[in-house]
Amino acid sequence: MDFFHRFAVPHPNPAIYASMVAIGLTVIAIVAGLTYFKKWGYLWREWLTTVDHKRIGIMYLISALLMLFRGGADALMMRAQLAVPENTLLDAQHYNEIFTTHGVVMILFMAMPFIMALMNFVVPLQIGARDVAFPRLNALSFWLFFMGAMLFNISFVVGGSPDAGWTSYFPLAGNEFSQSVGTNYYMISIQIAGIGTLMTGINFMTTILKMRAPGMTLMKMPMFTWSALIANVIIVFAFPVLTVALAMGTMDRLFGTHFFTTNNGGMDMLWANLFWVWGHPEVYILILPAFGIYSEVISTFARRNLYGYKSMVASMVIISLLSFLVWAHHFFTMGQGAVANSIFSITTMAIAVPTGVKIFNWLFTLWKGKIEITTPMLYALLFIPLFTIGGVTGVMLGMSAADYQYHNTMFLVAHFHMVIIPGVVFAMLAGLTYYWPKMFGFMLNEKIGKLAAWIIAVSTLLAFMPMFFSGLDGQARRMYTYSEATGFGPWNMVALVGALGLAAGFVLIVYNIYYSTRYASRDISSDPWDARTLEWATHTPVPAYNFAVVPQVNSIEALWDAKKKGHVLFKGKYEKIHMPNSSGVPFIMGVIFFIWGFAFVFAIWPLVILSTIGIFACMAHRSFEKDHGHYISVEQIEEIEGTETKLRGAN
């Protein structure tokens, strides 16, 4: 009994039992479906063992979309609970768990993989490379992220969810106040996913620095690649800090150390500092690639090269440096003194300057452009005003004296959602729509896409603007209910409507995917948007080796200048191409990491030792293995290139 007791959820309720059943049924359905359609072999050969950056990108994309719905369900539950005063839909404990998992899932398991999806798919194509620098490591990164996400998600039905907020501040997250295994899940699943992210950072930095096509100097790189490079530099410097913080937190909880305790010298503020030394740069890891996407989309559909390329690059470099100097704005009110507050206030507000530069560059690009409003462009155009609302309120929060008023109110929640949804989520949806034809060989329906974009934009305003007002009136965040007399009721009702609208928008996007999969024309060219950068210069669907001949680059917008100025991109004959082999080891290692994490969460030490040995065995196997990849012969290339062209019709 004791054994089962450990894995039981501490605060069960019908919704949790329902999800248990749902998870069970889904797993059975997937297993049955794969068996019935005899797809196990296909799944294993083509996906689970793949090291192809394009497929890894697509797997990131699917995971991100799934997590968007998990996090979205949490969001809807929160909004439903808050919609009317004194609501009893959720109890306080359940509300705590939901806002915690919502935050973690959205930031780490939705936005991050979304970025990784686009980066994986686009960057090697955009720089004319055959793959990333370390394809195997890339697969391992994905599986670590994926297993981390799965581990986090099972907390809901096995042992209990974390409930100390996505920031997991100590001493609240310590053993004394968080007795369930929830916070163990938090520490360990983020650790596993974080290691994967760090390896991605190293991999993509190497790729971008070393594997660009001949002629593509740093200052001729497309803007998305630039943004990816800088985001990866931030990853390499920020994630080790998180690794250490999470390790310390885990040790406090499992080994009785005194890093963040309130006795024996422990210091809870150390957690807050370490967390945000990672946490603030993390925001820029998300937003810079999003800016990169907007740059590509805006210059493509304004039919104009990006205004102020150099200042775009410079502003990103400055933002990346500043992002490490502002972390303490997250605890202005926690007693760090006026001097520290002033310094962090100034550095915080300074970030608005390079960000403003970027906004003006986009506006100038649009100014003289021949604008064509496609779905990706619509997201970009809606992003500018909405993001500006989020940005301006951010500067308000950055004034430390004023922050005493806003701190921990819904004003803050409204601010960062107005930044992160138009900034990151819109960009990812724009990127999704923009790159969809390259990924899957058909376009998403424009009518449905635009309708969804409008619904999402209007709903964002409806969902979050009211929170600015209720926040200024004093509605605290992370409170599961409030009294009638506060007058917050109507604001929150509007916000619920907005949240439902957002949900409807996302469902419409899924419907669009379904609809277009069924009805969209497969007869599209490899460059359906009439775009400007290299990824559109290869076939659709993209062959495994990306480019049959390595392109020669002479300008920033290589493809555009090939189309308009007659630059020749592909010179020379086909030569045999070296490609890495698929491997099951990254997936197996991911699974072992999952077991390791689970064993750690429940402190099952024999299993921890066993799986640790398993992990090292995988590494040793890799070290001794002789795997030199394989070659694609000239005949094979000719055949692939021939059929691709035929498949796509004359092009």
Count of residues that bind Cu ion according to CB under 5 A:
1
* Among 130, 478, 563, 648, interactor with ligand HEM by CB under 6 A: 478
* Among 199, 313, 499, 550, interactor with ligand HEM by CB under 6 A: 499
Contact pattern for ligand HEM over residues 46 through 85, marking x by CB under 6 A:
--------------------------x--x--xx------
Report the residue number, 128 or 201, with the smaller CB distance to other proteins.
Answer: 201
* Among 144, 312, 419, 425, interactor with ligand HEM by CB under 6 A: 425
Q: Is the dihedral of CA 173, 174, 175, 176 positive or negative?
A: negative
Residue 578 backbone phi and psi in degrees, to 5 = -90, 130
Distance CA 332, CA 376 (A): 38
Residues of this chain that interact with other proteins (CB under 8 A) are: 133-134, 198, 201-203, 205-206, 209-211, 236-241, 243-245, 247-248, 251, 255-259, 261, 263-267, 270, 274, 277, 578, 616, 620, 623-624, 628
Angle CA(80)–CA(498)–CA(289) in degrees, nearest 5? 110
Binding segment for ligand HEM (CB under 6 A), chosen from 124-132, 241-249, 415-423, 631-639, is 415-423
Nearest distance, CB of residue 269 and other proteins, angstroms: 9
Distance CA 646, CA 216 (A): 31
Helices (H) and strands (E) in the chain, counts: 23, 2
Task: Name the binder of 53 from other proteins, Cu ion, ligand HEM, none, CB < 5-8 A by kind.
Answer: none
> What would the two tokens of residue 173 be?
């997250």
Binding segment for Cu ion (CB under 5 A), chosen from 196-204, 251-259, 276-284, 483-491, is 276-284
> What would the two tokens of residue 30 be?
């997937």
* Among 54, 79, 102, 280, interactor with Cu ion by CB under 5 A: 280
Residue 67: is it exposed, middle or buried by C-beta count within 10 angstroms (0-12/13-18/19+)? buried
Query: For 49, which DSSP code?
Result: T
The yes or no reply on residue 94 touching ligand HEM (CB under 6 A) is no
> What would the two tokens of residue 225 be?
């690649």
Q: Which residues contact 518 (CB under 8 A, 6 or more apart)?
A: none
* Among 103, 160, 281, 580, interactor with ligand HEM by CB under 6 A: 103
Task: Name the binder of 280 from other proteins, Cu ion, ligand HEM, none, CB < 5-8 A by kind.
Answer: Cu ion
Distance CA 200, CA 141 (A): 6
Distance CA 358, CA 315 (A): 7
Nearest distance, CB of residue 205 and other proteins, angstroms: 5
Nearest distance, CB of residue 506 and ligand HEM, angstroms: 7
Nearest distance, CB of residue 394 and Cu ion, angstroms: 9
Name the pairing type of β-strands 630-632 and 577-579: antiparallel
Q: Which residues contact 366 (CB under 8 A, 6 or more apart)?
A: 298, 302, 381
Instruction: With H, G, I as helix, E, B as strand and everything else as coil, classify residue 10.
Output: coil
Indicate the length of the chain as a whole number: 651
Give me the residues that bind ligand HEM (CB under 6 A), please. 72, 75, 78-79, 99-100, 102-103, 106-107, 111, 165-166, 413, 417, 420-421, 424-425, 463, 477-478, 499, 502
Q: Applying CB under 5 A, which residues contact Cu ion? A: 280
